[in-house]
Structure 1
């Protein structure tokens, strides 16, 4: 593990220092990470969260969706001479990732040839791929067949699940962006929470307590969803990251021994940064009929400590404190609500009183860190990894498999020929699928 980490760090330093150069001799200015699932959600979340630590002059972009719009828009304004692609796929066989990698390779060849950087021969194309593509994969034969030098492939192991892999070689793009020193701080954050889980007694063990609370909410209070509400804009991708971590891990109806579960498992995780969510869905959390446990996350010291001067002589206002006032107020309102008598005391007409009562007793957990550093982000990720694990243990399920994602992939391969016009493949489909395919074929316009 340490040897592979050292290899990732050495490569990151070569890119950051300008030693690694493209086929025209220019240094890398943009890294494009091509992956999906855990090979995308973790890296893009961490890159966005740690934006203040990214080396000036370097940018990382991310491609995941097989919708061709994703790759087309991502590379549209890039200079191929200064672009490095990282293809992240453990088996180097993930459909979406390989399609996007081939599209990126075709774009690279076309744009380099148009600029005169390569002459279009197989040899020049091979040289371009070798300087502009690296891989995160252990399938070195497939990496080489694509044209990537296996020496520039960074591996991780079968026991590293995709949704738990951002701190492995999958984080190569992040290591390039923030540098090895900061990435080690990131890893140290994970380790701190790992040790906390291992050593602390249950009554002081935060992941255990949060995991047991989540089980209580689901199995005893009937909660079906769980909101994660970061009052830190840099964490705007964190809820999406947690969706895979929690729902792919614990969305199971079979126990680890193959028997059916005997209780509800898993929750629908979702969220949006504050205060955006306050103007969208907090109404349901405060006064709706569904119980929605919520985690509120904030930092004491902002990355951008801006002041607002309203020009009325009152002096500047710390904008971060305005944000945190909302953070504190929302959890207080959810806990204690507002009684009918309090509403009446404000002079509210009697017929409006019921609509303005807040029942309170809505469960929340508040998490506040000194600042959003690489270490704190590592701690936050590890916290939720262990919360997920604790819930899986209580429910008796395997939080480390994900067979539920396989059926759709298999059926997509069977439907693809029907979309392309194969009559036999179309005839083999159910009536609903045949109707959808027929509509597509009738309305698809091609250049």
Structure 2
């Protein structure tokens, strides 16, 4: 494989024909550049691709370590080489768990036991048989976590709102901003509230401080040690730390080293999703992801949805120098998907060295951003259409919706499709001029306004159509983006499963916190010292 993807792809990108010409030359282009799997259709015809560039990209995939790393991942090899850990999140969603062992441990039995424990708790909460310390049923559950322990379940719970069937209300506490826990404790009662603390290490600062604040809230309301133990659960790999906090062993759901936080939705981190949509619904979420796994593992690269998306992303990052990608779900329920994919993509592949620790010769990972359509059309689509930036975009739309307002959905779909068409074809200055004349403007006025109304077009996009936004289809969609990120990491030859870059800020926050609490002079750079002084001044 070439040492520099940029050196390979940039000359091809510079020779690429405009999209208008590509569509004019091939009336059947959309059919040829489309693929479908697991109830998801990908139309990637509005990309700056011709036969030559597409063939080069597929050769890039064939020459990469994608297949090799897939085999190693499935075999339980430590492909997370900097932490010497296996990467087995795909095992969490498979149905057949027999003979599933890793380093001598019966992983299949552990996963089955965890699923059974989750199912029992959820049944008790749904049936009102899990009683609090005063004998009343639980009415509210607070999920305390951050990062992968929050973004995945929060996004999935929101996405599957039409499938909610829980009598228990769900609340998320993630950020260390005290306003979150403070607001929650004003509206809830400890005697009917269950708290689940999600932290692999049980030492993550934000999660631990929120858990401590909630425990103090229980104590202030008269709950004793036994009562608190009744109301607190955890999902963690550090059983000892959870027990020292006051959580009894039978209330601790397992986490494993072979599951990274941003890939953990399929584990006990998915408890909030299972709570809200029921155990059967959660099993459908797992089934959709498992189906996408099989598609990814077995489909040829030319028809493989994760591989196609991965190659297109690399094409724009290393060929065209694009530094951002918009993720635009035309679904109110999918509005948190961009935030989820931000972590999945940027934390996984935002790296500067390869798997061996050597500097990478290419830029990796785009800035992911976006929001639900059509809100974005009235905010930042102006930049997508008329700026000099080229920002590839993924448009997502469920074909079938649960609500009865079909005219709304038709209008929403019309906007989605129109945006991809407008980005592709644009509007020339001559077309804008003729349009102004047709509206009754004088030739001079039309000539003056036309440059402002023209759009360059030739802006690439993918359109992903879900048959419907069900638990199954959401599971497949999430797994699709997981595998896309995995493929890009394989092609860039980096480790997509560690995140050492987040450690420095955590380390530096400790002495700064101590300085904020202390009365003496802080010894930092002049900017940090000044900021600390201003904070102290306002918080005497």
Q: Does 1:193 align with 2:298?
A: no
Give the CA deviation at 1:347.
2.5
Q: Does 1:76 align with 2:189?
A: no
Q: How does 1:205-284 map to 2 (within 5 A)?
A: 205-284=304-383
In 2, Cα distance between equivalents of 1:76 and 1:241? 29
Which residue, 468, 472, 485 being the options, matches 1:371?
Answer: 468
Which residue, 410, 425, 435 being the options, matches 1:336?
Answer: 425
Q: Which residue of 2 aligns with 1:315?
A: none
In 2, Cα distance between equivalents of 1:77 and 1:292? 43
Q: Which residue of 2 aligns with 1:299?
A: 398
Paired residues of 1:86 and 1:173 also in contact (CA < 8 A): no
Q: Which residue of 2 aligns with 1:356?
A: 453
In 2, Cα distance between equivalents of 1:369 and 1:325? 16
Q: Which moved more, 1:344-353 or 1:176-185?
A: 344-353
Q: How does 1:35-54 map to 2 (within 5 A)?
A: 35-54=145-164
In 1, Cα distance between equivalents of 2:468 and 2:226? 44
Q: Does 1:430 align with 2:525?
A: yes
- Secondary structure, in 3 states, of the residue corresponding to 2:436? coil
Paired residues of 1:62 and 1:74 also in contact (CA < 8 A): no
Give the CA deviation at 1:79.
2.1
Which residue, 169, 190, 193 being the options, matches 1:59?
Answer: 169
In 1, Cα distance between equivalents of 2:367 and 2:263? 18
- Secondary structure, in 3 states, of the residue corresponding to 1:368? strand
Q: Does 1:136 align with 2:235?
A: yes
In 2, Cα distance between equivalents of 1:347 and 1:140? 70
In 1, Cα distance between equivalents of 2:491 and 2:265? 25
In 2, Cα distance between equivalents of 1:160 and 1:56? 27
In 2, Cα distance between equivalents of 1:26 and 1:326? 49
- Secondary structure, in 3 states, of the residue corresponding to 1:346? helix
Paired residues of 2:330 and 2:412 also in contact (CA < 8 A): yes
Q: Does 1:404 align with 2:501?
A: yes
Deviations 1:257-277, CA, capped at 9 Å, x for gaps? 110000111100010100000
Deviations 1:94-140, CA, capped at 9 Å, x for gaps? 111010001011112223x2xxxx4xxxxxx1122122110001211
Q: Which residue of 1 aligns with 2:204?
A: 94
- Secondary structure, in 3 states, of the residue corresponding to 2:328? strand
Q: Which residue of 1 aligns with 2:490?
A: 393
Q: Does 1:346 align with 2:435?
A: yes
Q: Which residue of 2 aligns with 1:30?
A: 140
In 2, Cα distance between equivalents of 1:74 and 1:42? 21
In 1, Cα distance between equivalents of 2:185 and 2:359? 47
Give the CA deviation at 1:319.
1.0
Deviations 1:366-422, CA, capped at 9 Å, x for gaps? 011121111111111100000101111111110000000001101101111110125
Give the CA deviation at 1:82.
1.5
Give the CA deviation at 1:163.
0.5
- Secondary structure, in 3 states, of the residue corresponding to 1:398? coil
Paired residues of 1:305 and 1:320 also in contact (CA < 8 A): no
Q: Does 1:439 align with 2:534?
A: yes
Give the CA deviation at 1:18.
1.4
TM-score, normalising length: structure 1: 0.92
In 1, Cα distance between equivalents of 2:534 and 2:218? 35
In 2, Cα distance between equivalents of 1:321 and 1:383? 26
Q: Which residue of 2 aligns with 1:311?
A: none
Deviations 1:149-196, CA, capped at 9 Å, x for gaps? 111110121010000111111111221221111000000011011000
Give the CA deviation at 1:205.
0.5
Q: Which has the higher contact order (CA 8 A, sep 6+)?
A: 2
- Secondary structure, in 3 states, of the residue corresponding to 1:76? helix
Paired residues of 2:125 and 2:168 also in contact (CA < 8 A): no
Paired residues of 1:218 and 1:267 also in contact (CA < 8 A): yes
Q: Which residue of 1 aligns with 2:38?
A: none
In 2, Cα distance between equivalents of 1:142 and 1:188? 33
Paired residues of 2:436 and 2:450 also in contact (CA < 8 A): no
In 2, Cα distance between equivalents of 1:147 and 1:441? 34
Paired residues of 2:160 and 2:470 also in contact (CA < 8 A): yes
- Secondary structure, in 3 states, of the residue corresponding to 1:370? strand
Q: How does 1:141-180 map to 2 (within 5 A)?
A: 141-180=240-279
In 1, Cα distance between equivalents of 2:447 and 2:354? 53
Give the CA deviation at 1:75.
2.9
- Secondary structure, in 3 states, of the residue corresponding to 2:187? coil
- Secondary structure, in 3 states, of the residue corresponding to 1:227? strand
Give the CA deviation at 1:56.
4.5
In 2, Cα distance between equivalents of 1:408 and 1:143? 25
Q: Which residue of 1 aligns with 2:414?
A: 325
Unpaired stretches in structure 1, ≥5 consecutive residues: 119-124, 308-317
TM-score, normalising length: structure 2: 0.77
Give the CA deviation at 1:4.
1.6
Paired residues of 1:255 and 1:261 also in contact (CA < 8 A): yes
